[in-house]
Amino acid sequence: MHNFLPIAYFEDRFCPFKDANISIATHALHYGTGAFGGLRGIPDPQNPGRILLFRLDRHCQRLSTSARLLNYDLSPDKIQSVIIDFVKKNRPETSFYIRPFVYTSDLGISPRLHKVEKNFFVYGLELGDYLSPEGVTCRISSWYRQEDRSLPLRGKISGAYITSSLAKTEAVESGFDEAILMNSQGKVSEASGMNVFVVRGGMLITPGYDQDILEGITRDSIITVAKGLGLEVIERSLDKSELLIADEVFLSGTAAKITPVRQVETYILPTDRPLTQRLRDKLTAITEGRDVDYMDWVFPIEVG
């Protein structure tokens, strides 16, 4: 059961969430011609009456870039302005998630991006832990991550998530929590909606952009923070066998935050995860506005 925030932004105006409805003939519903973002917010633990959003500017820029892939000119400033007003109108009192979405809103039946109406909406819901903070089990999916030459993976295109959905259901229905997808070259790409990190010999390793991954904002944050802590970070191709013998494996994403992996296939991973915990503690401090070195990553909104 989802607890949706009461106010949505839909068709250039704010309205009750229950009234923000699209037609069954909507173009994007049929062809996956949409793109979405997702960002977290929390009430400021130190200042009642204030909401903190994590890396709002980066999320707005990525959604604007995704919109361009759909032949839609939507500026980051416009997205940011709507999201700020959205938060002020909803005044959430617990941890929450914002879902902005751009889409072809026409009622046509021709699959195209030219001469078709586009639009933009925003809604939100209360959200705690998306995955268990104690760790998840993963299987290697039989489904492969798409290639950028057939689908623009630099954007969060909604149609691409059919693969994620197939992989997630396959994993859960076979007794696991999450799926890890390989790319067409047989290398580790990402999970169903998260990036993948491995720790080996004190080094932090993650698939690079050339492995058909999404350009994750949480991923970028972890890499920046890890380097700031003096850790060695390597972005390269990653073999399946490296997951099985890793010292630590974790997933990262806006919803998942940093989620440890405790098992891959039948291989049980170590329960001692010092680097994962160190990065998780650091990221939590940043998102709560308690880390002076990363204050510019947190966007405060006065709602009191």
Q: Which CATH number fits the domain that encloses residue 151?
A: 3.20.10.10
pLDDT band at 7 (very low <50, low <70, confident <90, very high): very high
What residues are annotated to the active site?
Answer: 156
d(CA 153, CA 257): 21
Q: Please tell me whether residues 23 and 75 are part of one structural domain.
A: yes
* Number of domains making up the chain: 2
Mean pLDDT of the chain: 96
Query: Which residue stretches of the chain are H helix?
Result: 27-31, 56-69, 76-90, 161-173, 217-228, 240-244, 274-287
Q: Please tell me whether residues 63 and 145 are part of one structural domain.
A: no
pLDDT band at 277 (very low <50, low <70, confident <90, very high): very high
The last residue of one of the domains, among 126, 161, 193, is: 126
In a domain, 32, yes or no: yes
In a domain, 122, yes or no: yes
Residue 181 has pLDDT above 90, yes or no: yes
pTM for the model = 0.96
* CA 180 distance to own-chain centroid: 15
If you average pLDDT over residues 53-61, what whole number do you get? 98
Domain limits at 103?
7-126
The last residue of one of the domains, among 126, 161, 179, is: 126
Residue 234 sits at the vertex; the CA angle it makes with 230 and 240, to the nearest 5 degrees, is: 135
The pLDDT assigned to 132 comes to: 87
Q: Please tell me whether residues 181 and 234 are part of one structural domain.
A: yes
Q: Please tell me whether residues 241 and 143 are part of one structural domain.
A: yes
Collapsed DSSP state (helix, strand, coil) of residue 86: helix
In a domain, 296, yes or no: no
In a domain, 299, yes or no: no
In a domain, 300, yes or no: no
For 113-155, the pLDDT digits (tens) are: 999 999 999 999 999 888 888 999 999 999 999 999 999 999 9
Structure tokens at 258: 């940093």
Q: Please tell me whether residues 176 and 256 are part of one structural domain.
A: yes
The last residue of one of the domains, among 80, 103, 126, is: 126
Q: Please tell me whether residues 104 and 159 are part of one structural domain.
A: no
If you average pLDDT over residues 173-201, what whole number do you get? 97
Burial, 133: exposed, middle or buried (Cβ in 10 Å; 0-12, 13-18, 19+)?
middle
Which are the contacts of 138, defined by CB distance < 8 A and separation ≥ 6?
Answer: 171, 176, 177, 178, 179, 180, 191, 249, 261, 263, 264, 265
Q: Please tell me whether residues 141 and 22 are part of one structural domain.
A: no
Q: Please tell me whether residues 147 and 267 are part of one structural domain.
A: yes
If you average pLDDT over residues 253-257, what whole number do you get? 91
If you average pLDDT over residues 251-277, what whole number do you get? 96
Which are the contacts of 282, defined by CB distance < 8 A and separation ≥ 6?
Answer: 225, 229, 291
Q: Please tell me whether residues 259 and 227 are part of one structural domain.
A: yes
In a domain, 295, yes or no: no
Residue 42 has pLDDT above 90, yes or no: yes
The pLDDT assigned to 133 comes to: 86
Q: Please tell me whether residues 86 and 166 are part of one structural domain.
A: no
If you average pLDDT over residues 207-224, what whole number do you get? 97
In a domain, 57, yes or no: yes
Q: Which residues pair with 182 in a beta bridge?
A: 144, 188
d(CA 158, CA 101): 9
Residue 1 has pLDDT above 90, yes or no: no
In a domain, 298, yes or no: no
pLDDT band at 72 (very low <50, low <70, confident <90, very high): very high
Give the number of C-alpha atoms closer than 13 A to the C-alpha of residue 137, restricted to the C-beta side.
Answer: 12
The pLDDT assigned to 211 comes to: 97
**Any idea what the CATH number is for the domain that residue 108 is in?**
3.30.470.10
Residue 275 sits at the vertex; the CA angle it makes with 138 and 141, to the nearest 5 degrees, is: 15
d(CA 104, CA 84): 24
The pLDDT assigned to 131 comes to: 87
Q: Please tell me whether residues 84 and 12 are part of one structural domain.
A: yes
Q: Please tell me whether residues 155 and 268 are part of one structural domain.
A: yes
